[in-house]
Structure 1
Amino acid sequence: MTNTNPKTVAILGNGVVGIALAKGFAELGYAVVFGTRDAQGEKTVQALAAVPGATAASFSEAARASSVAVLALPWSGLEAGVLAAGAENLAGKLVIDPSNPLDFSTGAPTLAVGHTDSAGELVQRLLPTAKVVKAFNIITAGHMVHPKLLDGTPDMLIAGNDAEAKAHVGALLLAFGWRAPIDMGDITASRLLEPLAMVWISYGFRNNHWTHGFSLLGQKA
């Protein structure tokens, strides 16, 4: 697969997160290519129908064609998906990681890793020359683009090693309708952001309510 559009985003995964972010990128004029194990499968067909003009390819082909990649993959498939995409195909590129390391083996989700490691750090290890930024992991897919809550505007917290990549994500967030993001530091701060997602998830389960978000009040001027 070839694509000469310099604004091409690889959405690795074709679930609700991937579709939501794909729609946002498409609105900004990006060519969207879904990376998938089955480019002809039912889920892929549904994703393509939801994002007119999008295409589908293998993980590696989508990663190679992209200027930006989004890891819209569940924890259970994250490492395999990243390896299938190929570190060489994402070298030097912005890779946005909205994943959370959730273990559903006991029913209610718990963190599979934490305190001394994180999904964000795993992704950066697997993609040592990519510019990984943790973002979008503390909000429902339906509010990842154009977040509109009745009682205020939520904040997005991000983390990553590369300042330029975080600035790029900040510009994307603004274009998606967010306020400027809160930079929590390097990729090890994923150890904070992923447990914060558990607060979001726990509240959702306890209240059967999935359209909430976080705001940091009294931010430093």
Structure 2
Amino acid sequence: MTSISIIGTGKMGSAIADVASRAHAHIQLLKRKAGVGATIERDDVEYAVMGDELTGELVVIATPYAAIPDVLARYGDRLAGKVVIDISNPIEFVTFDGLTVPAHSSAAAEIAEAVPNAAVVKAFNINFAETLTTGINGGMHTTVIVAGDDADAKIAVMDLVEAAGMRAVDAGPLSRARELEAMGFLQITLAALAKTRWESGFALMT
């Protein structure tokens, strides 16, 4: 059975827990501290607190980009050998004028540099929570695009996605995270400007 630790209990962390539940994975959800969470506790999840040991083979950092350094500082070498899934979009939320990472880099690349003994995969950053919870986007199965340098790590993430009844697409190496984060920026900006709905998202048609 696949096991997954999700750091963060906000909308995206809860939505990815829904994905993992449909895939019949063992789920650990880590709260910021005891008693704090955005959703009602569920029966199919093992709850823990930030700093507790991670039980999952897959580790999702489902926190805002600004909180990632704290996650990495707490866990550091304990992420060695794990598949670390970065879902973040490093957006300048004050102005919505661009990304806060250098043009040649990405949030995922920063994480990979910080935890070189983990296999970092970019995924879920262009998916809004609703489309993950329902598994449907615009009448089609939700598409999750992944990028990473470790083939086995990408397969593990894609298997989870497909076991949850959604479509997984391999975008190539982790350097493609730059384009995925640009897509995430565009999608969030459009929704923030009410050009699209927060329940919408990009879809690939074949």
TM-score of the aligned structures, taking structure 2 as reference length: 0.88
- Structure 1 residues 112 and 178, CA gap change in structure 2 (3 angstroms): same
Amino acid at match of 1:54: V
Q: Which has the higher contact order (CA 8 A, sep 6+)?
A: 2
The corresponding residue for 2:28 is 33
1:55 matched to 2:46? The reply is: yes
Provide, for residues 193-212 of structure 1, a one-character-per-residue CA deviation record: whole Å limited to 9, x for no partner: 00011121122123251122
Residue 28 of structure 2: SS of its match in structure 1? Answer: strand
Match of 2:147 in 1: 159
Q: Is the 8 A contact 1:99 1:119 kept in 2?
A: yes
Deviates more, 1:116-125 or 1:148-157: 148-157
Please, what is the CA RMSD of the aligned residues? Answer: 2.1
Counterpart amino acid of residue 31 in structure 1? H
Q: Does 2:173 correspond to 1:186?
A: yes
Q: Is structure 2 residue 126 aligned with structure 1 residue 138?
A: yes
Shift of 1:114: 4.2
Q: Decide whether the 8 Å contact of 1:60 with 1:89 is kept in 2.
A: no
C-alpha contact 2:135 2:166 (8 A) present in aligned 1: yes
- Indicate how the Cα distance of structure 1 residues 176 and 53 shifts in structure 2: closer, same or farther if over 3 A, else same: closer
Structure 2: give runs of 5+ residues left out of the alignment.
none
Give a deviation string over 1:134-168, Cα, whole Å, max 9, x none.
00000101112442134434432211110011111
Q: Indicate which of 196, 202, 207 corresponds to 2:183.
A: 196
- Aligned-residue sequence identity (percent) comes to 29
- Deviating 4+ runs (over 6 angstroms): none
Looking at structure 2, the residues matched to 153 and 32 of structure 1 have their Cα atoms a distance apart, in angstroms, of 23
The count of residues paired between Structure 1 and Structure 2 equals: 205
The structure that has the greater radius of gyration is 1
Which one has the bigger strand percentage? 2
1:3 is aligned to none
TM-score under structure 1 length normalisation: 0.83
